[in-house]
């Protein structure tokens, strides 16, 4: 009977039909017939493994087709294989390897510092009133200053070397991590506080077994924002103020009109972002298994 039904039939139960033989879920039910609709599944269906790669792959396909058919002018956007070829060439005989390494190292340093600072400040502010009084207002002010606007000042303070870049990335990273973790820590459900009092938990047990696990969902929200922020600020910093790294490579290519190199740089940034976000997601799924117990 399923062959009369168009669209995906995901359930295994045949839906009850009021009139025997009447195909269900047909939009044009005869007048007077009561067709009982199944409840609509509101949550999206099962996730296929690696399904998140589908969108990027489709994009790649369209790009390739456009290049093959000549719809896309190679001066505007070179073909994918040209970019790959350029990449291979630069990898073997150019500076691509050191550029990638430099960029990764900057992002990693900035991210690590931002993560540490964000977590430590949030813990201090979220778990003690003194810490809250000293830290929270300060961070809120820091947050309302656009971090990229600090670049000129930081260059004057720290010079145009690596330090200022790492510092800017760290600031971009620590703010969302702090904000989300702090509000999760401070917003712990009072019912759990009462429970912990009844169970005579020590302060340390309360923090470790109730407050911190309860704030992990908020932490991961901040972590993902932080990861995105680290790449974002890296791109900006390297395109304006660098003498090496991927952004510098692209900047140079602009001067010589090498579109393929620019696209290569963008692609590499994209891959970095995608991979790091996937890693965080994976980690989140592991750590927050208790949340996914219903949906998976």
Partner 1 sequence: MAALLEQLAPSSSVRIGGLTRSFGERVVLDGVDLEIPPGQFVALLGHSGSGKSTLLRAIADLDHGASGSGELLAPERVSVVFQDSRLLPWRRVLDNVVLGARGKDDEGRNPVERGLAALAEVGLAGRERAWPSQLSGGEQQRAALARSLVWEPELLLADEPFGALDALTRIRMHTLLRELWERHRPSVLLVTHDVDEAVVLADRVLVLDGGRFSLDLTIGLDHPRSYRDPRLAEYREQLLSALGVDQDDNHPAKEATA
Let me know: does 86 contact 74? Beta carbons within 8 Å: no
Asked if 283 interacts with partner 1 (CB under 8 A), we say no
**Distance in angstroms (rounded) separating the CA atoms of residues 225 and 173:** 8
Residues with Cβ within 8 Å of 78's Cβ and at least 6 positions away in sequence, in order, are 67, 86, 259, 260, 263
Provide long-range contacts, Cβ within 8 A and 24+ apart, for 85-89. Answer: 86/258, 86/260, 86/261, 86/264, 87/264, 87/267
Residue 198 touches partner 1, criterion: CB under 8 A: yes
Contact criterion met (CB below 8 Å) for 50 and 33? no
Q: Which is nearer to partner 1, 47 or 291 (CB)?
A: 291
Nearest CB to partner 1, comparing residues 17 and 184: 184
Question: Which of 102, 109, 196, 230 touches partner 1 (CB under 8 A)?
Answer: 196
Binder to partner 1 among 54, 84, 88, 199 (CB under 8 A)? 199
Q: How many residues bind partner 1 (CB under 8 A)?
A: 22
* Best CA proximity match to 296, nearest among 9, 39, 45, 41: 45
Is 205 a binder of partner 1 (CB under 8 A)? yes
User: What is d(CA 13, CA 18) in angstroms, rounded to the nearest whole number?
Assistant: 15
Q: Is 216 an interacting residue with respect to partner 1 (CB under 8 A)?
A: yes
Which of 149, 200, 204, 255 forms a contact with partner 1 (CB under 8 A)? 200
Contact track, partner 1, 156-195, x by CB under 8 A: -----------------------------------xx-xx
Binding part of the chain for partner 1, among 52-60, 85-93, 120-128, 198-206 by CB under 8 A, reads 198-206
Residue whose C-alpha is closest to residue 34's, from 49, 20, 19: 19
Single out the segment in contact with partner 1 by CB under 8 A; choices: 31-39, 213-221, 228-236, 258-266.
Answer: 213-221
Of the candidates 57, 197, 252, 282, which one interacts with partner 1 according to CB under 8 A?
Answer: 197
Please give the structure tokens belonging to residue 190.
């009072």
Angstrom distance (rounded) from CA 126 to CA 180: 11
Count each helix (H run) and each strand (E run) in the chain, helices first. 12, 0
61 DSSP 8-state letter: H
Pick 2 or 293: Cβ nearer partner 1: 293
- Choosing from 28, 69, 93, 293, the residue that interacts with partner 1 (CB under 8 A) is 293
Give whichever of 140 and 205 is closer to partner 1, judged by the CB atom: 205
For residue 216, the minimal CB distance to partner 1 (Å) is 7
Contact 170, 117 (CB under 8 A): yes
Asked if residue 207 binds partner 1 (CB under 8 A), the reply is: no
Closer CB to partner 1, residue 129 or residue 200?
Answer: 200
Tell me, rounded to whole angstroms, the distance of Cα 132 from its chain centroid. 28
Minimum distance, C-beta of residue 41 to partner 1, in the bound complex (Å):
19
Q: Which stretch binds partner 1 (CB under 8 A): 67-75, 99-107, 204-212, 244-252?
A: 204-212
- Cβ–Cβ < 8 Å for 92, 172: no
Q: How far is the CB of 288 from partner 1 (least distance, A)?
A: 8
> Where on the chain is the footprint of partner 1 (CB under 8 A)?
191-192, 194-201, 205, 209-210, 213-214, 216, 288-291, 293-294
């Amino acid at each position: 009977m399923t062959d009369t039904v168009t669209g995906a039939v995901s359930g295994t139960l045949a839906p009850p039909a009021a009139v025997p033989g009447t195909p269900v879920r047909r939009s044009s039910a005869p007048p007077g017939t009561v067709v009982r609709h199944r409840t609509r599944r509101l949550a999206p269906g099962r996730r296929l493994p690696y399904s998140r790669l589908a969108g990027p792959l489709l994009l790649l396909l369209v790009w390739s087709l456009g290049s093959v058919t000549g719809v896309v002018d190679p001066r505007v956007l070179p073909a994918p294989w040209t970019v790959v070829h350029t990449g291979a060439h630069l990898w073997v005989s150019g500076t691509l390897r050191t550029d990638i390494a430099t960029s990764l190292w900057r992002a990693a340093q900035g991210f690590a510092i931002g993560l540490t600072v964000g977590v430590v400040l949030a813990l201090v502010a979220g778990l003690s009133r003194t810490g809250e009084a000293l830290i929270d207002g300060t961070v809120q002010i820091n947050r309302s200053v656009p971090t990229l606007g600090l670049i000129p000042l930081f260059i004057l303070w720290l010079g145009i070397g690596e330090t200022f870049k790492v510092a800017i990335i760290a600031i971009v990273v620590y703010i969302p991590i702090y904000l989300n973790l702090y509000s999760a820590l401070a917003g712990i459900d009072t019912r759990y506080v009462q429970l912990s009092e009844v169970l005579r938990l020590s302060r340390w047990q309360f923090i470790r077994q109730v407050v911190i696990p309860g704030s992990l969902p908020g932490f991961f929200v901040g972590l993902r924002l932080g990861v995105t922020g680290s790449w974002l600020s890296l791109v900006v910093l390297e395109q304006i103020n660098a003498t090496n790294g991927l952004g510098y490579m692209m900047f140079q290519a602009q001067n010589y009109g090498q579109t393929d190199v620019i696209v290569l740089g963008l692609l590499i940034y994209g891959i970095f972002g995608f991979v790091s976000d996937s890693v965080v997601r994976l980690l989140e799924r592991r750590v927050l298994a208790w949340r996914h117990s219903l949906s998976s």
